[in-house]
Structure 1
Amino acid sequence: MPKLAYPRRFSRKNVLITKGGTAMSKEKHGTASSLKEGQLAEFVGAGTKALILISAKLGPRLTHIWANNGKAMEHAFLSVFASPPPGFLKRITDKPLILDSTDGSEILPDADVFARILCDLDIGEAGAATEATPVHVYEIVNDATFKQMFGSLNADVEKVCLTQAQIKGFIKKHHQWLRRYDCSTLFLFKSHGKFFVAQVCISSSGKLALDAYWLENLHLWDAECCHRLVAPQLN
């Protein structure tokens, strides 16, 4: 058998030889071992059975949503089976920003700060009065859904909600912290007993636009855009 010529940056102990004779770094790829006969079939069989049980519990609406979001489903599977990611968010405020107290009466669809309102969801419910509230701003550092983002701050997502009046207050008082140039700043809030995410964008012309989504929306938000998220300071 001819000797393999190893690149200088590899030592023999850090090189893995594949069946085709290709040298790969163990440090980069890990020690590879092919699946034993029947392992793939066993895994797929168990996974299929689990998915059937899961779909029965999800019900028709959520099952349909997942079925049409293959990338999000793949991401969800890998987040369970692979090593956990280092996190979805990075805090970018050293000290909390303070929101002024509100009477809770203002709602986002009536806010005078937006040039465009794209939302067609029923979010027109006023909130409770609030005292001065410290908040922090985060940037997304790994692709994530809304539930992954806000859930990474607290499993009880109600604790990371703001009222619609507080969101408007943040936009007016801390405008400089909003993500610019068609990227997004996200806020979690509650209306009519359901959770929504407000998406605020600033165009290159400086005009603000508002959209809103269900918290359950399965879209994966791209970390490369460095979208931002605002949430109350947690004790």
Structure 2
Amino acid sequence: MPNGNGNTLSLDRQANFHAAVLKALPRDIDSEIALGWERNGDAPTKVLRNALCLPASQALDENKILHRLYVDKVITIPACDGTQTLAQAKEAFLSYLDPDFKNWDLDKVGKATEESAVQVHEMVKDATFAQMFGSLGANLNKLCLTQHQIKTFCEKHRDKLRADGYGTFFPFKENEHFFVVRVFVDSGGLDARVDRFKDDDVWDAGHALRVVVPQLGTQ
């Protein structure tokens, strides 16, 4: 079996590779699906070749959900005392302010924060909230901004928000539960809506939706 350099794998390497592929196969393949593959001749070979002959780094890159924007820029949110909540931010969100910020008991002041660096990502693959934020590889608590920080980002960095009627997502935590603020840029101003993090809606990467989280280091 040739490797990525055109050389043939040794028998030992082949055995290890085969074992790794078998271990990675889904365990929920039913008998009907298995029989279909068995009867399809060269089809399994073609599928496996397309999947396995990519360099591992390229295969992983194709599975990315988020792509970081503004990599060469430092984007910061000024220090916030935590007293401003989204439920009370009508002056910042003139187009629409979701009543669920109050209905869900989210109108609570937060902790004070120092000037903080953040990073902006763009969705490149369809995903739920759990999948998109989970793809960043950090504890969800560390991905959250305060409500005051979210409001301030929208005011100070409006040019970094997704335009054309599509959303920018900000995770936050309140009452020991996680939520996601979706902010839109409308002709009448900004529009802020809130969803529960556990919602399993799949968001369309074709809209190039954006995500803002605290600076996590080199990505």
Say how many residue pairs are matched: 158
Give the Cα separation in 2 of the matches to 1:188 and 1:119. 18
- 1:91 matched to 2:68? The reply is yes
Aligned to 1:110: 88
More moved, 130-139 vs 145-154: 145-154
TM-superposed deviation, 1:197: 0.1
Aligned to 2:106: 123
CA shift in 2, pair 1:118/1:87, >3 Å: same
TM-superposed deviation, 1:93: 1.3
CA shift in 2, pair 1:119/1:186, >3 Å: farther
1:169 to 133, 142, 152: 152
Give the Cα separation in 1 of the matches to 2:160 and 2:110. 24
In the alignment, structure 2 segments of 5+ residues that lack a partner are 1-29, 36-58
1:146 to 107, 111, 129: 129
TM-superposed deviation, 1:119: 4.1
Structure 1 SS opposite 2:120: strand
TM-superposed deviation, 1:41: 7.9
Q: Deviations over 1:94-138 (max 9, x none)?
A: 223011001111111111201211241332121110001000111
Kept after mapping to 2: 8 A contact 1:154/1:160: no
TM-score of the aligned structures, taking structure 1 as reference length: 0.63
Structure 1 SS opposite 2:193: strand
Partner AA of 1:109 in structure 2: A
Structure 1 SS opposite 2:64: coil
Aligned to 2:206: 224
TM-superposed deviation, 1:188: 0.3
TM-score of the aligned structures, taking structure 2 as reference length: 0.67
- Within 5 A, what are the aligned runs for 1:44-123? 86-94=63-71, 95-111=73-89, 112-115=91-94, 116-120=96-100, 121-123=104-106
Partner AA of 2:98 in structure 1: L
Give the Cα separation in 2 of the matches to 1:122 and 1:144. 27
CA shift in 2, pair 1:155/1:136, >3 Å: closer
Q: Deviations over 1:150-178 (max 9, x none)?
A: 11113411111000000011011111111
Structure 2 SS opposite 1:137: strand
Structure 2 SS opposite 1:172: helix
Give the Cα separation in 2 of the matches to 1:229 and 1:153. 11
TM-superposed deviation, 1:206: 4.5
Runs of 4+ more than 3 Å apart: none
- Within 5 A, what are the aligned runs for 1:13-32? none
Give the Cα separation in 2 of the matches to 1:92 and 1:155. 18
Kept after mapping to 2: 8 A contact 1:119/1:210: no
Kept after mapping to 2: 8 A contact 1:171/1:178: yes
Give the Cα separation in 2 of the matches to 1:101 and 1:87. 32
Aligned to 1:184: 167
In the alignment, structure 1 segments of 5+ residues that lack a partner are 1-37, 44-82
Kept after mapping to 2: 8 A contact 1:96/1:233: no
Identity over the aligned pairs, expressed in percent? 39
Partner AA of 1:110 in structure 2: Q
Kept after mapping to 2: 8 A contact 1:146/1:216: yes
Structure 2 SS opposite 1:153: coil
Kept after mapping to 2: 8 A contact 1:183/1:225: yes
Give the Cα separation in 2 of the matches to 1:41 and 1:226. 34
What is the RMSD of the two structures over their aligned residues, measured on CA atoms? Answer: 2.0
